[in-house]
């Protein structure tokens, strides 16, 4: 058993497990955690074992330093399948609070739909666990700040599950992020820069793939799923298969369409390349059919985001309206351009990159972070900023007008309607704090 496996305290108490007190309790009332010793296996637990949850089971099972001790899901069939795959030493739970209360866990993976991310991330952090979280980090801007605060307050390690700032070919761009970072930080492209994240520069936004459906008739709730627990903090709506399968991404109650699905994969590296890990755009505007439906995610064309220093990020779905990124570079500055497959104008920029210093090192092995307490490369702070990028874009699409945002207060300027989108209520009795 890992040192971090505290004698699991009843951090929510028996009344909470009975569903009568659902506030997330601060760690200050709990036992202080340790951390795994150099020779200990790291105990992992996964909340949500369908879809991406299966991938997380694979992450753990193939890691010789890791042990999967518990899984949690609101579907019995998924719990049973996960235990069969992981082995008899892995315990299955319907209620994540009970799992956190009973098990000796070092790392919790949160792989549920985004409307659950904030509550479950914070619950795991308050229970003294490190967190490996799925993207988007949270469903709203305000929730992301709550998660970042919980990481700091509890002294835990947080990892967001996208990795392109650290390693790997950057989707259809045909290059890793490192040479782009080197070129930008050298100043060779000039300043300010414009970055275009489009299907025409290597990035599919899945806009039509993840739209919701109107007028679906209610269906009987299958015996396999605890639908009230699936909804959790989301507003109550009649059960339909389309809402509770992977297509949940098409409903604002749970996610934010293809933009929220892919946004942190694409925008976190852009934020890193532009050295914007500690700030956010100040102007955001979108082109999309308007008005957008209040419940169902729809199509969109472009989103324009501008930072205070003039740098711009342009998103284009290529699934509605004009395609203005056709033939244009991924990165453009006053002195140069970078296209797919690292074709540059002027051509000598590609050679210049080979002579430039490497970017500052980042921790890319989560086991190292867990054992040494060193901050992971994509963490609660820079991850929250790229999470904000996603939600700024969706807020602009939903509002139908130019928005002004304050990167310090993390609120829209003189815009109560947009701020309501950035901080949405939870269904009682669920709440943060």
Bond into 429 cis (ω within 30)? yes
Average pLDDT over residues 204-228: 98
pLDDT band, very low/low/confident/very high, at 35 (cuts 50, 70, 90) = low
- 28 has pLDDT over 80: no
C-beta atoms surrounding 240 within 10 Å: 16
Beta-bridge partners for 135:
none
Give the model confidence (pLDDT) of 85-106 as tens digits.
999 999 999 999 999 999 999 9
Contact 207, 249 (CB under 8 A): no
Cα 248 from Cα 296, distance rounded (Å): 10
Instruction: Give the pLDDT confidence score for residue 391 in this predicted structure.
Output: 99
Q: Rounded to whole angstroms, how far apart are CA atoms 237 and 249?
A: 15
- Segment 308-335 shows an average pLDDT of 96
Q: Residues 143-154: what's their mean pLDDT? A: 99
Question: What are the DSSP calls for 60-91, one per residue?
Answer: HHT-TTEEEEEEE-SBHHHHHHHHHHH-TTSE
Does position 258 have pLDDT exceeding 80, yes or no?
yes
pLDDT of residue 14: 33
Element (H, E) at 354: helix 348-354
How crowded is the C-beta side of 59, counted as CA atoms within 13 Å?
22
From-to residues of CATH 3.40.50.720 in the chain = 13-134
Q: Categorize the per-residue pLDDT at 34 as very low, low, confident or very high, splitting at 50, 70 and 90.
A: low
Tell me the β-bridge partners of 283: 306, 404
pLDDT at 290 over 50: yes
The kind and range of the H/E element at 386 are: helix 380-399
Read off the pLDDT of residues 111-133 as tens digits, 9 standing for 90 and up. 999 999 999 999 999 999 999 99
Which residue from 102, 105, 106 is spatially nearest to 94, judged by alpha carbons?
102
As a whole number of angstroms, the distance between CA 68 and CA 213 comes to: 37
Q: Which pLDDT value is given to residue 433?
A: 76
Provide the CATH topology of domain 13-134. Rossmann fold (3.40.50)
Q: Which residues of 310-333 are buried (b: 16+ CB within 10 A; e: fewer)?
A: ebbbbbbbbbbeebbbeebbbbbb
Dihedral of the CA atoms 419, 421, 425, 430 (nearest 10)? -120
Residues 6 or more apart in contact with residue 399 via CB below 8 angstroms: 415, 417, 418, 421
pTM listed for this prediction: 0.92
Q: What pLDDT band is residue 7 in, cutting at 50, 70 and 90? A: very low
Question: End-to-end alpha-carbon separation of the chain, Å?
Answer: 31
Start and end residues for every CATH 3.30.360 domain found in the chain: 171-210+254-362+380-420
Mean pLDDT over the full length of the chain:
93
The pLDDT-based confidence of 329 (bands split at 50, 70, 90) is very high
pLDDT value at position 39?
66
Cβ distance 339 to 202 under 8 Å? no
DSSP, collapsed to helix, strand or coil, labels residue 217 as coil
How does residue 183 score in pLDDT terms, banded at 50, 70 and 90? very high
Residue 2 has pLDDT above 80, yes or no: no
The CATH architecture one would assign to domain 171-210+254-362+380-420 is: 2-Layer Sandwich (3.30)
DSSP state of 396: H
Q: d(Cα 115, Cα 133) in Å, to the nearest integer?
A: 13
- Kindly report, residue by residue over 56-72, the tens digit of the pLDDT: 999 999 999 999 999 99
Torsion of CA 247, 248, 251, 252, to 10 degrees: -140
């Amino acid at each position: 058993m890992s040192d971090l496996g505290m004698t699991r305290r009843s951090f929510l108490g028996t009344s909470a497990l009975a569903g009568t007190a659902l506030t997330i309790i601060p760690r200050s009332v709990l036992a202080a955690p340790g951390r795994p010793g150099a020779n200990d296996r790291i105990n992992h637990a996964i909340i949500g074992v369908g879809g991406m949850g299966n991938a997380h089971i694979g992450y753990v099972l193939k890691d010789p330093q890791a042990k999967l001790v518990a899984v949690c899901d609101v579907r019995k069939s998924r719990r049973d399948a996960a235990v069969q795959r992981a082995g008899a030493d892995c315990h299955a739970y319907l209620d994540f609070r009970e799992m956190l209360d009973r098990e000796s866990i070092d790392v919790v993976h949160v792989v549920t739909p985004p409307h659950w991310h904030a509550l479950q991330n914070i619950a795991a952090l308050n229970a003294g666990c490190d967190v490996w979280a799925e993207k988007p980090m949270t469903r709203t801007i305000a929730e992301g700040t709550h998660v970042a605060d919980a990481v700091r307050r509890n002294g835990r390690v947080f990892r967001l599950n996208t990795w392109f700032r650290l390693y790997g070919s950057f989707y259809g761009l045909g290059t890793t992020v490192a040479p782009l970072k080197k070129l930008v930080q050298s100043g060779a492209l000039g300043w300010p820069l414009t970055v275009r994240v489009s299907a025409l520069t290597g990035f599919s936004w899945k806009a039509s793939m993840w739209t919701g459906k109107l007028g679906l008739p209610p269906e009987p709730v299958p015996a396999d799923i605890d639908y009230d627990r699936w909804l959790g903090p989301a507003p109550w709506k009649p059960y339909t298969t389309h809402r509770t399968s992977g297509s949940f991404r098409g409903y604002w109650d749970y996610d934010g369409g293809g933009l929220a699905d892919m946004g942190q994969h694409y925008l976190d590296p852009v934020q890193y390349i532009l050295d914007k890990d500690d700030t956010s755009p100040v102007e955001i505007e979108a082109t999309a059919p308007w008005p957008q439906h209040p419940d169902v995610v729809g199509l969109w064309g472009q989103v324009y985001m501008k930072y205070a220093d003039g740098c711009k990020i342009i998103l284009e779905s290529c699934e509605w309206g004009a395609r203005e990124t056709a033939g244009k570079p991924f990165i453009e500055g006053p002195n140069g351009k970078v296209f797919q497959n690292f074709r540059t104008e002027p051509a000598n920029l590609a050679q210049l990159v080979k002579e430039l210093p490497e970017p500052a090192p980042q921790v890319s092995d989560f086991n190292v972070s867990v054992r040494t307490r060193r901050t992971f490369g994509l963490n609660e702070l820079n991850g929250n900023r790229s999470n904000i990028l996603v939600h700024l874009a969706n807020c602009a699409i939903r509002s139908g007008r130019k928005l002004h945002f304050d990167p310090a207060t993390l609120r829209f300027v003189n815009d109560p309607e947009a701020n309501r989108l950035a901080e949405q209520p939870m269904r009682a009795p669920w709440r943060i704090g």
